[in-house]
Amino acid sequence: MLSPIIQRADAERILSSDDATHSRVQLSVPPVGAVLVVDDDDAARWLVVRALARSGIQTFEAVDGKEAVEHVLAKPELIDAIILDVMMPGLNGFDVIRHIKRIPAAATTPIILVTASATEEDDIVRGVEYGAIDYIMKPVSTAVLTAKVRAACERSRAERRLRYDLRFAELHAMIDPLTGLFNRRHFEARIREASAYSKRHDQPFSIVMVDLDHFKSVNDTYGHETGDHVLTQFAAAVRSVLRGEDVAFRYGGEEFVLLLRACDAERAADVAERLQKKLRQRPYLFRDGTSRVITFSAGVAAALPSEGYGSAELVSRADAALYRAKAAGRDRIAYW
């Protein structure tokens, strides 16, 4: 499971593909597999469904190509394989394959064609060219059918698990394990994305560099375990004041950075002030019974339209503003 402290909007954006559904899917479908059976012949479809059901395979049914495509669009992550008749009125089997391959979450779903006779070699060749992985001849051998479907389902689920595991690892490589915020490495990628977005939409974006005041004294007085807990509480406060399109990062140690889309310097400072207010409302309670408001110094810098909303100098400008805030007595916000 993803850590509950990972920023929700960004986790959903990164894992919004079929890869993200693996952990949910394996709780909602049977262990053998789930198959969509598409055939306009009721008797033929019933034969296939019954044979698969006897093998513990869950089935969904579609009576024509249009219904099949609609079913895949609605629940692509629940289908491990598709058994597809070639000759159907309206959308035929080849049309259905073309439509399914355009659905990102279903593009790799194994498709097994059912063809009327062994003489229709052109249908088989054409189906393979379109992306079908196998074919079955009518009349259907239930033993062959079951074996091929089981193999297709196993392949589909293995590929889904692999994609999910890779995406899961990729996501966690971007996350600071202590705070659950994104890390500095991911910030470097996201600030370039923000710059490109601002150029396209002619909108400003800003960053706020944040450094906790006198944090070393917390570690020296109460130990690093308490210091870590202070950092996690601070990260929680940060998340509570951000909009869905904003992103926070742990830049290093007790230093953080906020990346605020469609936000000029003044509005960015407002976000930092909301964070200050949040922290003042909830002083940190230490184990010796004393409490202390966690304060910070912040430097704000906005990407400039005159520079094409470039990000090259933005970090150094925010950093310079941060050091001015610290030099002026800390617990304050400074602009570049």
Give pLDDT tens digits for 46-105.
999 999 998 889 999 999 999 999 999 998 888 999 999 988 989 999 999 999 999 988
Beta-carbon contacts of residue 37 (< 8 Å; ≥ 6 apart): 45, 48, 49, 52, 59, 60, 61, 62, 83
Beta-carbon contacts of residue 322 (< 8 Å; ≥ 6 apart): 209, 210, 211, 297, 298, 299, 334
What is this structure's pTM? Answer: 0.60
Which of 119-128, 155-164, 249-258, 263-272 bottoms out in mean pLDDT, i.e. has the lowest?
A: 119-128
- CATH topology for 8-169 is Rossmann fold (3.40.50)
| Helix H or strand E segment including 94 | helix 93-101
| Helix H or strand E segment including 258 | strand 255-261
pLDDT bucket at 117, cuts 50 / 70 / 90: low
d(CA 51, CA 165): 33
Burial degree of 9 (CB within 10 A; 0-12, 13-18, 19+): middle
Assign domain 182-335 to its CATH superfamily: Reverse transcriptase/Diguanylate cyclase domain (3.30.70.270)
All structural domains of the chain with their residue ranges: 8-169, 182-335
d(CA 192, CA 159): 32
Q: Are 274 and 243 in contact (CB under 8 A)?
A: no
pLDDT bucket at 326, cuts 50 / 70 / 90: very high
